[in-house]
């Protein structure tokens, strides 16, 4: 039923007459998610294709389809410009306690304003003042600089934003959370709890060890040669400071390949996806492929995962995109190879 509705909306949005009709429907005013649906930029199945969804276009700065009508293109561009200003402003803020969730900050603004005639609203928004809805400032008694602390309560920041924007955001909370989940993970799901890799793969190890290896000679996980992009090798290393103040371990269980966010990631060999996890710690968003015979590969810190658990893959099939999720200091792929339950140097298995 949802796909049929989407097709009707998409048919209407492609003509001026249809867009006038949509604007006259009061349901649009009370259901921003329906409005989001008509922004799908490449067909009725666009919601299932990460790169083709409005939220990815806006939040991940993906390209806008040429087929999007001009009035919607202007609106989307204004969101993209506004979100870039938010990122720039956040980069200048020093938060001494907690952290500011840029995806939540953008999701609240997006959910609050998507059903408004908001081109002027976005262009006149004072970004610095809006961000003050998300942190408090302590003024020291001496001449020390002020101390900024993030507000941990989502309900509180929503109330603050509602008051500042003069929009009843609290009535849109469910929509905002849905936008947040899609913007964060690419699908409408929340984050997974942290589970150790050995626990995640406990059953997969047993099954894989009873099968034959099918992976073939591993190709590069990138579209081009992997060797030129190695930024950190397998094995002992100096701990690396992380943005939250902690440090990495002194042993690196894979290799890091530094590439820009959004770079396609490919399966290095035939196999089956046995784990897909979305976490905000450790490996971040990652997946594990079983190549049979007790051989597994791990792809971590992705910003988008394009596969699901139990999906059978062919070598070279895209599995996701480079990101910087979890404990990461910048966009890269953390790539691991596990053989007989032990981490091994990926250089020994990747095609030279």
d(CA 327, CA 243): 8
- What rounded mean pLDDT belongs to the chain? 84
Mean pLDDT of the region 3-7: 47
Query: Of all residues in the chain, what percent carry a pLDDT higher than 70?
Result: 82
What per-residue confidence (pLDDT) applies to 11?
Answer: 54
| Contact assessment for residue 254 and residue 234, using Cβ atoms and an 8 Å cutoff | yes
Lowest mean pLDDT among 24-38, 260-274, 299-313: 24-38
Which runs of consecutive H residues, i.e. helices, occur in 93-218? 102-113, 119-123, 127-131, 154-165, 173-185, 197-200, 202-208
What per-residue confidence (pLDDT) applies to 150?
Answer: 94
pLDDT in tens, 6-52: 455 555 555 556 555 555 544 444 344 444 544 433 333 443 443 34
Please give the structure tokens belonging to residue 351.
């095609």
pLDDT in tens, 58-71: 888 888 777 777 77
| Contact assessment for residue 54 and residue 40, using Cβ atoms and an 8 Å cutoff | yes
**What domains does the chain contain, in order, with CATH numbers?**
2-185 (no CATH), 197-348 (2.70.70.10)
One-character DSSP codes across 25-92: -HHHHH-HHHHHHTT-SSSTTGGGSGGGSHHHHHHS-PPPPTTS-HHHHHHHHHHHHHHHHHHHHHHH
d(CA 166, CA 282): 38
| Contact assessment for residue 171 and residue 255, using Cβ atoms and an 8 Å cutoff | no
pLDDT in tens, 220-241: 999 999 999 999 999 998 877 7
pLDDT in tens, 177-232: 888 988 889 887 889 999 999 999 999 999 999 999 999 999 999 999 999 999 99
What per-residue confidence (pLDDT) applies to 34?
Answer: 45
CA dihedral 165, 176, 27, 166 (to 10 degrees): -10
| Contact assessment for residue 156 and residue 132, using Cβ atoms and an 8 Å cutoff | no
What per-residue confidence (pLDDT) applies to 241?
Answer: 75
What per-residue confidence (pLDDT) applies to 118?
Answer: 62
């Amino acid at each position: 039923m949802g796909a049929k509705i989407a097709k009707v909306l998409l048919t209407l949005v492609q003509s001026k007459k249809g867009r006038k009709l949509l604007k006259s429907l009061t349901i649009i005013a009370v259901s921003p998610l329906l409005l989001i649906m008509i922004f799908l930029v490449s067909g009725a199945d666009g919601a299932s294709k990460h790169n083709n969804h409005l939220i990815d276009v806006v939040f991940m700065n993906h390209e806008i389809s040429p087929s999007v009508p001009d009035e919607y293109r202007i609106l989307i561009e204004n969101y993209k410009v506004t979100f870039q200003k938010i990122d720039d402003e956040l980069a200048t803020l020093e938060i001494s306690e907690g952290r500011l969730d840029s995806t939540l900050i953008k999701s609240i603004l997006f959910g609050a304003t998507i059903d408004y005639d908001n081109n002027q609203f976005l262009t006149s928004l004072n970004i610095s003042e809006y961000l003050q809805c998300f942190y408090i400032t302590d003024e020291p008694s001496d001449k020390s600089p002020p101390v900024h602390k993030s507000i941990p309560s989502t309900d509180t920041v929503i109330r603050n934003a509602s008051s500042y924007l003069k929009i009843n955001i609290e009535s849109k909370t469910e929509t905002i959370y849905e936008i947040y989940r899609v913007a964060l993970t690419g699908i409408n799901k929340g984050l997974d709890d942290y589970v150790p890799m050995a626990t995640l793969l406990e059953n997969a190890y047993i099954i894989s060890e009873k099968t034959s290896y099918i992976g073939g000679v591993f190709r590069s996980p990138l579209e081009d040669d992997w060797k030129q992009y190695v930024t950190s090798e397998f094995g002992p290393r100096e701990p690396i400071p992380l943005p939250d103040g902690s440090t990495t371990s002194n042993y690196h269980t894979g290799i890091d390949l530094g590439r820009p966010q959004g770079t396609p990631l490919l399966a290095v060999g035939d196999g089956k996806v046995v784990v897909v996890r979305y976490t905000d710690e450790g490996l971040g968003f990652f997946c594990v492929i079983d190549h049979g015979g007790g051989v597994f590969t791990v792809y971590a810190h992705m910003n988008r995962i394009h596969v699901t658990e139990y999906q059978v893959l062919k070598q070279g099939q895209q599995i996701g995109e480079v990101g910087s999720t979890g404990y990461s200091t910048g966009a890269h792929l953390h790539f691991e190879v596990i053989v007989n339950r032990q981490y091994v140097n990926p250089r020994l298995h990747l095609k030279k």
